[in-house]
Amino acid sequence: MSSGGRRVAAREAGIAARAAAVVLALAVAACAPVPDPTAPAAAPSEVRSAPLADTPSAPSVAVPVRPARDAPPPVPPAPTRVEIPALGVDVRVRAVGVDEQGRMGLPKSADVAGWYRYGAAPSDATGATVVAAHVDDADSVGPFARLATAEPGDTVRVRTADGTAFTYTVESTEATAKAALSADRLFDRSGRPRLVLVTCGGAWDARARSYTDNVVVTAVRQR
């Protein structure tokens, strides 16, 4: 072959090699997965890498992984004591529910108050924490008999099972006929966090074996 023929053959071979390289590059690009620009990006803290299929050739993609169910909210600490320094009140508190007659259950002793455990707790962000006690029992008059003398501005402290002390300021004291007392207002789960202290008041009705009124003290939790 002449020198001119060799130059032509070499040029043709170079062109063929470059064409092969371009074809190979396109083939590799076509095999690679193409990201969808419209797909939302997953949050890094909520993502783990998992295969789409159980084959060696399956690509790996990031998929969100979440728990099957949410964890239940923690139970708030129960109140264990109510103190009203201005009235000399210092009463133990225990959790209560509903009695056989559908009323808020109360400890038999007037020296122990009950916290309605199905309502708000002192640590809740909203609602009324309801604590009630008998005004007296067969043995003596209870500390909550002094609630009728509570005045706006008096300080109330509630201590809970975890050792926290919540401070409230008395906003109002009212005596309401039992028949007129609104349970919806008393056990309200909305509104600002507050403490509602309840006991009996008014005259003793021997026939009904009950007092005619309820004394209700409402105190607002301090920030």
Q: Which whole-number Å values give the CA distances from 222 to 153, 185, 195, in the listed order?
A: 12, 21, 11
pLDDT per residue of the chain (223 residues) written in tens, 0 to 9: 544 444 444 444 443 334 333 333 323 333 333 344 444 444 444 434 334 444 444 455 555 555 666 667 788 999 999 999 999 999 999 999 998 888 899 999 999 999 999 999 999 999 999 999 999 999 999 999 999 999 999 999 999 999 999 999 999 999 999 888 888 889 999 999 999 999 999 999 988 888 999 999 999 999 7
β-strands 60-64, 128-132 pairing:
unpaired
Please state the pTM of the whole predicted model.
0.68
Quickly count: other Cβ atoms within 10 Å of residue 63's Cβ: 13
Q: DSSP string covering 18-82, please? A: HHHHHHHHHHHHHHSPPP-TTSPPPPGGGEEEEESSSSTTPPEEEEE---SSPPPPPPPPPEEEE
> Residue 33: is it exposed, middle or buried by C-beta count within 10 angstroms (0-12/13-18/19+)?
exposed
Q: How many helices (H) and strands (E) does the chain have?
A: 2, 10
The fold of 79-221 is Sortase; Chain: A; (2.40.260)
Dihedral-angle region of residue 153 (phi above 0 means left; psi in -120 to 50 means alpha; beta otherwise): left
Q: What are 120-152's pLDDT values in tens digits?
A: 999 999 999 999 999 999 999 999 999 999 999
CA-closest candidate to residue 216, choices 157, 171, 184? 171
CA dist 196 and 186 (Å) reads 7
Both tokens of residue 56? 């060696």
Count other Cβ atoms within 10 Å, centred on residue 62.
13
Which residues are registered as beta bridge partners of 126?
A: none
Residue 81: count of CB within 10 angstroms of its CB: 15
Q: Which two tokens stand for residue 125?
A: 């962000």
Q: Domain extents for the chain?
A: 3-64, 79-221
